[in-house]
């Protein structure tokens, strides 16, 4: 379970103006929950994801993941928890350009070896319709294929939570459907998804809908 309690975050700029990115944001995610957060650019969605992903400490509030106050942990323990339990899907993919798809999917093995890693990577690639591309590099793929590789990489480590930042923002309808179907399948198998998006089509796949505006999170 992921519990966000009364999170606040303010960015202080060099011109002495401050931006309140989150204002007392609270959210609970349980296994099987697919939560979508919609909102305009600059409303605080990315700050919410970074904080939920154990990457950015809030100014105030508590993030509990699997009954741990994660920002009370050491940086090393927080990194281990993030690596083992959280998968990230970004709008810009963040694939390694000189690695093949197979190696991109298996990047978590750089830290912890998976005994049946290649078999699992092949199974995920088949599931996402990119099995025939495993020996290609990202530059040889379409935008939709690159996003499916990024999703396969996120799923590869068997996380309990996936954080998705505009995962369908650059995709055609067919690729959009594939990605959303896979995220839905993940939650149906007991995983949790927190997705931020501008896309009403993407939000339609969610089980819980939220709206964020000026740092405030509300049920949609």
Q: What is the pLDDT of residues 47-64, one digit of tens each?
A: 999 999 999 999 999 999
Please tell me the predicted confidence (pLDDT) of residue 114: 56
Please tell me the predicted confidence (pLDDT) of residue 87: 92
Which percentage of the chain shows pLDDT scores above 70? Answer: 95
User: Residue range 152-161: average pLDDT?
Assistant: 90
Give the bridge partners for 64, in sequence order. Answer: 3, 69
Please tell me the predicted confidence (pLDDT) of residue 18: 83
Residue 111 has pLDDT above 60, yes or no: no
Residue 182 has pLDDT above 70, yes or no: yes
Highest mean pLDDT among 93-97, 136-140, 181-185: 181-185
Please tell me the predicted confidence (pLDDT) of residue 3: 95
Residue 115 has pLDDT above 70, yes or no: no
Residue 33 has pLDDT above 90, yes or no: yes
Give the bridge partners for 213, in sequence order. Answer: 216
Please tell me the predicted confidence (pLDDT) of residue 110: 63
Please tell me the predicted confidence (pLDDT) of residue 17: 79
Average predicted confidence (pLDDT) for the chain:
88
For 41, what's the count of Cα atoms within 13 Å in the CB-facing half-sphere?
1
Please tell me the predicted confidence (pLDDT) of residue 69: 94
User: Is 0.85 topped by the overall pTM?
Assistant: yes
Give residue-wise pLDDT tens across range 157-174. 889 999 999 888 778 888
Q: Angle at Cα 158 formed by Cα 154 and Cα 164, nearest 5°? A: 35
Please tell me the predicted confidence (pLDDT) of residue 41: 82
Residue 112 has pLDDT above 60, yes or no: no
Give the bridge partners for 161, in sequence order. Answer: 86, 192
User: Residue range 169-188: average pLDDT?
Assistant: 88
């Amino acid at each position: 379970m992921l519990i966000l309690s009364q999170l606040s975050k303010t960015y202080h700029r060099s011109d002495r103006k401050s931006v309140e990115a989150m204002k007392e944001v609270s959210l609970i995610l349980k296994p099987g929950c697919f939560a979508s957060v919609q909102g305009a650019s600059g409303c605080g969605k990315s700050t919410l994801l970074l904080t939920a992903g154990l990457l950015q400490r809030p100014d105030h509030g508590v993030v509990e993941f699997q009954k741990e106050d994660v920002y009370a942990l050491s940086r090393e323990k927080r990194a281990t928890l993030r690596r083992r339990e959280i998968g990230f899907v970004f709008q810009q993919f963040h694939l390694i350009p000189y690695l093949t798809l197979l190696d991109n999917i298996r990047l978590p093995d750089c830290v912890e070896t998976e005994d049946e890693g290649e078999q699992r990577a092949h199974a995920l690639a088949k599931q996402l319709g990119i099995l025939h591309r495993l020996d290609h590099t990202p530059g040889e793929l379409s935008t939709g294929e690159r996003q499916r590789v990024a999703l396969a990489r996120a799923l590869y480590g068997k996380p309990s939570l996936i954080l998705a930042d505009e995962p369908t923002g650059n995709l055609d309808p067919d690729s959009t459907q594939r990605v959303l179907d896979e995220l839905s399948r993940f939650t149906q198998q007991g995983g949790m998804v927190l997705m931020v998006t501008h896309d009403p089509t993407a939000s339609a796949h969610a089980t819980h809908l939220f709206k964020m505006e000026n740092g405030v999170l509300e049920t949609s």
